[in-house]
Amino acid sequence: MKLSEKASGICPSKTMSLAAMTRKMKQDGVPIIDFGAGEPDFDTPQHIKDAAKEALDNNFTKYAPSAGTEELRSAIADKLKNDNGLNYSYNEIVVSNGSKHALFNAFLAILEQGDEVIIPAPYWLSYTEMVSIAGGVPVIAYTNVMTGYKATEEILKKHLSEKTKAIIINSPNNPTGMVYTKEELEKIADFAVRNDIYVISDEVYEKLIYSGKMQHISIASLNNEIKKRTIVVNGLSKSYAMTGWRVGYTASDVTIASAISNIQSHTTSNINSIALKAAYAALKGDQSCVEEMLNEFKHRRDYIYQRVSDIPYLSCLIPKGAFYLFIDISKLCGEKVDGKKIKDGADVARILLDKYNVAVVPGESFGYDDHIRISFAVGMEDIVEGIDRIENFVKDNF
Ligand code: GLU
């Protein structure tokens, strides 16, 4: 028996497999510090959990419309208007099982076999695989530290072809934490409109921006032309500590939204009914929980950035948003540890895990094999201990 070409070409998600592995190691009593998957360590706020309990008590446990209840889709439309200056009606919103599912639906809705999608690197590791499963071809557009790891029109232009169907913009970015300014987005929007391509705008980290002066701008909000060709993707996992609930959504032109909803009606139908009510409570309830988590993330960001910057041979940019530090380890490459030459971030990640009990994600997952990513969505005590161990790794071996 043979697997499909599609399935055999797909690599497992490194972040997910690392999360499963560290969970198992913790259960087995290994004193692991987990800087792997980006998952807020906070509990889901109480009022959101209460809404879920109420949904159960009221027997809100049956099928709902595939794209989500009108109640929740309208709440999302209100959020997009109030937070992002975007006007969508509820029927242009589709609620999916997490932003991941929303993204995948978006690719299925717009890609023909062989269509190219420009993915600026560093990129979140699932984009490439999702594009491939949907029949598209991921085209990686490498950026550099000089542009703050951001895509510019010049970089995108080099990767444009007759087959280009879409570009992915992810701001704040996973794994770099970079945030695009309005001016930068305007140039990318002009480029997309001029070349008649879609923009998939992954905005899942929008609430996590650490500089008061910077603001999250949705590219779709810049003008009507770009709005028509943008699929905004967002979710509640990161802003409301709701990773396990699986609530994400797309906002797009109604034709695209209907296609996404049709696809979903044959695959998963609605997301679980309890989460529909919990998500409504999250969006309509008191927002101070978001602010509190943001403040704590900022505190951790400041600490972790300072500590890592002080470690010789390692370098990184200060993340303006999200909760990751993308560390350049190229100065360690070519050096020997225990008689073996370090080739890349994967070697560093392996040594950190095996000898120092620290889990980090190798940069190859994000298109840069001489980097590692650490997530600071973990408690302060673990951050201090984990960075001490990384510092010891460098001190002991270089
Ligand atoms: N998006 C998070 C990360 O990059 C969670 C894991 C995943 O979905 O890949 O770590």
Chain Cα centroid distance, residue 254:
25
Higher-pLDDT residue of 241, 10? 241
Same domain membership, residue 294 and residue 252:
no
What pLDDT is stored for residue 183 in this prediction? 97
What pLDDT is stored for residue 17 in this prediction? 86
Q: Domain with 328 in it: what CATH number? A: 3.90.1150.10
Same domain membership, residue 37 and residue 77:
no
Task: Return the residue whose CA atom lies nearest to atom 7 of ligand 1.
Answer: 15
What pLDDT is stored for residue 211 in this prediction? 83
Report the share of the chain in percent with pLDDT over 90. Answer: 91
User: Does some domain include residue 377?
Assistant: yes
Using pLDDT thresholds of 50, 70 and 90, give the confidence band for residue 107: very high
Q: Is 15 in the pocket of ligand 1 (CB under 6 A)?
A: yes
Reduce the DSSP state of residue 15 to 3 states and report it: helix
Instruction: Give start and end residues of each alpha helix (H) in 91-223.
Output: 98-110, 126-133, 153-157, 182-194
Interval 237-241 mean pLDDT:
98
Q: What is the DSSP string of 314-375?
A: -B-PPPSBTTEEEEE-GGGTT-EETTEE--SHHHHHHHHHHHH-EE-EEGGGGT-TTEEEEE
User: Does some domain include residue 128?
Assistant: yes
Same domain membership, residue 230 and residue 118:
yes
User: Does some domain include residue 52?
Assistant: no
At 65, phi and psi to the nearest 5?
-55, 145
Q: Is 174 in the pocket of ligand 1 (CB under 6 A)?
A: yes
Q: Is 129 in the pocket of ligand 1 (CB under 6 A)?
A: no
Same domain membership, residue 342 and residue 194:
no
Task: Return the residue whose CA atom lies nearest to atom 5 of ligand 1.
Answer: 38
212 pLDDT more than 80: no
Reduce the DSSP state of residue 364 to 3 states and report it: helix
189 pLDDT more than 90: yes
User: Does some domain include residue 49?
Assistant: no
Ligand 1 centroid to residue 125 C-alpha, Å? 8
Ligand 1 centroid to residue 132 C-alpha, Å? 18
What pLDDT is stored for residue 10 in this prediction? 86
Domain edge (last residue) among 224, 250, 284: 284
What's the domain count of the chain? Answer: 2
Interval 234-260 mean pLDDT:
98
Task: Return the residue whose CA atom lies nearest to atom 2 of ligand 1.
Answer: 38
Using pLDDT thresholds of 50, 70 and 90, give the confidence band for residue 37: confident
- Condensed to tens digits (0 to 9), the pLDDT of residues 256-265 reads 999 999 999 9
Same domain membership, residue 224 and residue 123:
yes
Task: Return the residue whose CA atom lies nearest to atom 1 of ligand 1.
Answer: 38
- Condensed to tens digits (0 to 9), the pLDDT of residues 371-381 reads 999 999 999 99
> What is the domain extent for residue 345?
5-43+289-397
Q: Domain with 279 in it: what CATH number? A: 3.40.640.10
What pLDDT is stored for residue 14 in this prediction? 87
Interval 208-229 mean pLDDT:
94
User: Does some domain include residue 101?
Assistant: yes
Would you say how long the chain is, in residues? 398
Using pLDDT thresholds of 50, 70 and 90, give the confidence band for residue 366: very high
Same domain membership, residue 155 and residue 280:
yes
Same domain membership, residue 122 and residue 80:
yes
Same domain membership, residue 23 and residue 76:
no
Using pLDDT thresholds of 50, 70 and 90, give the confidence band for residue 8: confident
Interval 98-104 mean pLDDT:
98
Q: Among 14, 23, 39, 170, name the best residue to mutate to test ligand 1's pocket (greatest count of ligand atoms within 8 A of Cβ).
A: 39
Interval 178-194 mean pLDDT:
98
Residues 6+ apart with CB under 8 A from 178: 148, 149, 150, 171, 172, 317, 319, 320, 321
Using pLDDT thresholds of 50, 70 and 90, give the confidence band for residue 214: confident
How high does pLDDT run on average in the chain?
Answer: 96
User: Cα dihedral sign for 17, 106, 377, 286?
Assistant: negative
Q: Among 35, 126, 208, 361, name the best residue to mutate to test ligand 1's pocket (greatest count of ligand atoms within 8 A of Cβ).
A: 126
Task: Enter the DSSP assignment of 222.
Answer: S
State how far the Cα of 199 lies from the Cα of 96, in Å rounded to an integer: 19
Residues 6+ apart with CB under 8 A from 84: 206, 216, 218, 220, 221, 232
State how far the Cα of 179 lies from the Cα of 216, in Å rounded to an integer: 8
User: Does some domain include residue 330?
Assistant: yes
59 pLDDT more than 80: yes
What pLDDT is stored for residue 102 in this prediction? 98
What pLDDT is stored for residue 303 in this prediction? 98
Same domain membership, residue 112 and residue 216:
yes
Same domain membership, residue 246 and residue 198:
yes
Residue 241 is encoded by which pair of tokens? 């500590």
Beta-sheet pairing, 248-251 with 230-235:
antiparallel
User: Does some domain include residue 10?
Assistant: yes
Same domain membership, residue 28 and residue 108:
no
Domain edge (last residue) among 222, 253, 284: 284
What pLDDT is stored for residue 229 in this prediction? 98
Same domain membership, residue 371 and residue 387:
yes
